[in-house]
Amino acid sequence: MMNSHMPYYPPHLHLANQWMNLNPEFIGVTEEGTVSAWKNAIDSRSTFSQATEDNQPTFSPAATASAVVFDGDDWLGSGLDTRYDTGDGGWTVVFRHTSDDWTVNDAVMGNDDNNNSFIRNNGNSGMTVKAYNAAEAAVITKGITINNPLSGLVDETYYNFIIQCDPGAGNMDLWVNGIEQTSSPTLGR
């Protein structure tokens, strides 16, 4: 999944399955300023939507840094049974994210309250990836430490994250703003 605003065109975009582009032409905004629909810029058949106004994220337009803000119980769903299964080939997630308070454990993807699959900011020390391993019928949680920048992440600052799972090497790797972090937890239990 890629998330950015035009005219920026991320490298390797032709390989992505989903691009949540912040260009307003892809976002359906209600009169109240909430997002009722967000089109996948890669596949026009895929639109993420939310009919319940209380669960709609807020669109914050700006000339240089537009944002869709998810808080509380906000979520968008596609209604499609889309799975990004790579078998044993691993996976990569790319996202741009900010937080008002990086010291708070906050789900970036998924719901960390009651779900077996999510990516979460881990209190300004790293990212936690939790996933269900069907082969072992177990939930596996891995923490990846952010050690560059050493001072931690600055509140209200956007960072570019890449998390890569490489089952061949048995590692999960994290990059922050293009800098590979030295923490690389091994996969498994």
Distance CA 153, CA 92 (A): 22
- Per-residue pLDDT tens digits for 132-184: 666 666 777 788 888 877 677 888 888 888 888 777 677 788 888 888 887 66
- Per-residue pLDDT tens digits for 46-56: 888 899 999 89
Query: 0.85 cut: is pTM over it?
Result: no
CB distance 10 to 18 below 8 Å: no
Distance CA 61, CA 27 (A): 11
- Per-residue pLDDT tens digits for 100-142: 888 888 888 777 776 777 888 888 788 888 876 666 667 777 8
Q: What is the pLDDT of residue 174?
A: 85
Q: What is the pLDDT of residue 5?
A: 47
Q: How confident is the model at residue 74 (pLDDT cuts 50, 70, 90)?
A: confident
